[in-house]
């Protein structure tokens, strides 16, 4: 019976060893399950953060579009507000049929000043070249060229003011431009020679 005992002892050792390995495997499985749960929770958290970021970006895009549409829709609001007093002045002048011509003239001058102020507030400035100023095809439109002692390609007269908004010409000034005086060839025959 002695020979059986060593085999039994060896089997018992293997069983104890296997049970110890099983405990280690169970602990490893539990640790892996915990890591998996943490990774899944982090992935879900990242997914939710991404969805929030996408929603925020979409809301910002919609808000920007709405603001741009409103800006375009109401871009002239301030300018229109500055023109309303001009309209009021013109209506007041027409409402008084008894006004003298001098009173109407004074009213027109005041109204013109109101309009000039409104244009100035909107940064619309007149383009009114003075005689002798160099012709600028970007700001002036030549309506005629006349012989003049002035330097060629300079403004002789302004027929109508132009207007400019910042650096963009709304309407060019209509001008007359100087051209050189043509020298006529001396006629060898004079009127006195014909007699």
pLDDT tens track for 23-49: 678 888 999 999 999 999 999 999 999
Delineate the domains of the chain, giving CATH numbers in brackets. Answer: 124-182 (2.30.22.10)
pLDDT tens track for 140-179: 999 999 999 889 999 999 999 999 999 999 999 999 999 9
**Predicted pLDDT of residue 120:** 92
Got the DSSP string for 129-183?
PPTTPBP-TTTEEEEEEEE-SSPTTBEEEEEE-EEEETTEEEEPEEEEEEEPPPP
Distances in whole angstroms, Cα of residue 94 to Cα of each of 89, 103, 113, 132: 9, 12, 18, 40
Q: Is the pTM of this model over 0.75?
A: no
Helix (H, G, I), strand (E, B) or coil at 33: helix
């Amino acid at each position: 019976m002695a020979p059986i005992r060593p085999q039994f002892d060896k089997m018992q050792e293997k069983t104890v060893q296997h049970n110890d390995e099983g405990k280690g495997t169970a602990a490893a499985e539990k640790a892996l399950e915990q890591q998996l749960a943490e990774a899944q929770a982090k992935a879900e958290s990242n997914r939710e953060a991404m969805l929030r970021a996408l929603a925020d970006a979409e809301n910002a895009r919609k808000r920007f579009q709405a603001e741009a549409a409103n800006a375009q829709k109401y871009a002239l609001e301030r300018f229109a507000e500055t023109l309303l007093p001009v309209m009021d002045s013109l209506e007041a002048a027409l409402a008084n049929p008894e006004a003298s011509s001098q009173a109407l003239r004074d009213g027109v001058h005041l109204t013109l000043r109101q309009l000039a102020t409104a244009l100035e507030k909107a940064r619309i400035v007149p383009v009114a070249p003075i005689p002798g100023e160099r012709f600028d095809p970007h700001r002036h439109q030549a309506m005629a060229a006349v012989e003049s002692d002035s330097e060629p390609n300079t403004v002789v007269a302004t027929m109508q003011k132009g207007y400019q908004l910042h650096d963009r010409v709304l309407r060019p000034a209509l001008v007359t431009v100087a051209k050189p005086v043509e020298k006529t060839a001396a006629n060898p025959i004079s009127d006195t020679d014909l007699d």
